[in-house]
Structure 1
C-alpha cells in the first residue's frame, strides 16, 4: 500500500501550532492613550427657517399669502386662477385644456394634476397635505372654494 499524503492525525498538531503562532502575531499592540486622540471637530449645519410665530417681515425671502377677502374679491373659479391673478410669482398652464385641471408653476416648482409631471410643490389645506400619495399630483378641481 503506497501512501502519497500524510494521515490527518499527524497533521492536526502541526495545524494547531501554526494557528496559535498566527494568532499571536495578529494580536493588537497596545498604544499609549495620547497617540491616537484626534483634535475636536465642531460641525455647524444650516438650520431651517423657523416656522410659525415669526413675523413675515423677518423671513429672508418674499412671502406671499392669500386671505379670504382677497380670494372673494377676485371671484375666480378656482384656486390656481386666483393665484395667477394675485401672485406675480405664480404661473398657470391649462395643459389638458381643462380650466379645472391646471399646472401651477410657482418660482420654478410645479404642482400638477397630470401624472408624470415632476412635482415640486406640496399643497396643504387646513394643515393637511392634499397631494395624492401616488405621484404627488394635486387635483385642483377637488379643492373646495371655501378652503383656507
Structure 2
C-alpha cells in the first residue's frame, strides 16, 4: 500500500507540472501592456556620455571630467623668473618628468616622462608623443624630437597627457600637446627681450600680434648664440614662427609657418681620466647637428 501511494503522488505532481508548462510559455510571449498615451511601459535608462581624450586642442571638455591624469602649463608658467623655457619648466614644475643631456648640448635634451623618453638622438627608445597644435611633431624616421625647432616664446600652453592609444604609436609614456600662440589667444601688441650670460650666451627674441576684423596675424622670432663651457660646444639657433588666422562665429581657420636654422655642437661623453685633466676637454670632435 505504501508503495502505491508514493507512486500516485509522483504521477499527480508530474501531471500538474505538465499542465502549467504551456501556460508559462504563452505568458512569456505576451507583449507588455502599453502605458497611457501610447508610450511603451519598458524600462528607460538615463543617457550615458562617454568622454575620450583627444590630442587636438580646444575640445571644450573640462579637465575634471577626463578619465586620465592631465597637467597644463601656461605661457606664464613657462617663463618663470626669466625667459620662456618649456622643457626646464616641465622638469621643475611637474612630477614624473626629468631631463638629461646625453648629446652634451643644452638645446638637445632628452626628456624622460613616466620612465619613457623623447629624444633627438637616433636609436633612442622613444616612448612619448609630441603634438604641435594637434599635429604630430615626432619625426617620421625614428620618432625623434628636435626641441630646438620649437620657439618657446610662441608657446601659449603645454598639456601633459597620460598614456592613451589615441595618441598613436610610441606613446606609452604619455603625450605632450604644445599649443602655439595666435592673434586670438594672446593679447594684441608686441614685446622684445634681450638677455645674456656667461660662456658667450646671447638671446634675442620678440613677438607681435595684431587683429583686424575677423582676421589675425601673429609672428615670433628668436636668435640664440652660446659658446658653451666645454670645447666645441657652441650653439647657434635662428627661428621664426608665423600664424595667419580667421575666426567667425562658429569657425576658426589657421595657417602657420615654422622656420628654423640650427647648428648645435655637443661634446658627448668623455673618459673620466680626460675630464680629470681638463673638464673642458672633448674626447670625440666634432659632434654637430645642423
TM-score range, shorter chain: 0.5 to 0.7
Structure 1 residues not aligned, in runs of 5+: 1-46
Q: For residue 65 of structure 1, give the secondary structure of its aligned residue in structure 2.
A: strand
The structure with the greater share of residues assigned to strand is: 2
Structure 2 residues not aligned, in runs of 5+: 1-49, 156-179, 181-290
Does 1:123 pair with 2:130?
yes
Cα distance between partner residues in 1 of 2:60 and 2:84: 32
The structure with the greater share of residues assigned to helix is: 1
Does 1:132 pair with 2:139?
yes
Q: For residue 78 of structure 2, give the secondary structure of its aligned residue in structure 1.
A: helix
Does 1:82 pair with 2:85?
no
Q: For residue 123 of structure 1, give the secondary structure of its aligned residue in structure 2.
A: strand
Q: For residue 90 of structure 2, give the secondary structure of its aligned residue in structure 1.
A: helix
Q: From the CA coordinates, give the structure whose radius of gyration is larger.
A: 1
Q: Equivalent residue for 1:93?
A: 100
Q: 1:49 aligns with which of 49, 52, 62?
A: 52
Alpha-carbon RMSD: 2.1
Q: Equivalent residue for 1:106?
A: 113
| Count of aligned pairs | 102
Do the aligned residues in 1 keep the contact of 2:51 with 2:66 (CA within 8 Å)?
A: no
Task: Provide TM-score, normalisation by structure 2.
Answer: 0.32
Cα distance between partner residues in 2 of 1:58 and 1:139: 33
Q: 1:58 aligns with which of 65, 81, 96?
A: 65
Q: Equivalent residue for 1:10?
A: none
Do the aligned residues in 1 keep the contact of 2:119 with 2:126 (CA within 8 Å)?
A: yes
Task: Provide TM-score, normalisation by structure 1.
Answer: 0.61
Q: For residue 91 of structure 2, give the secondary structure of its aligned residue in structure 1.
A: helix
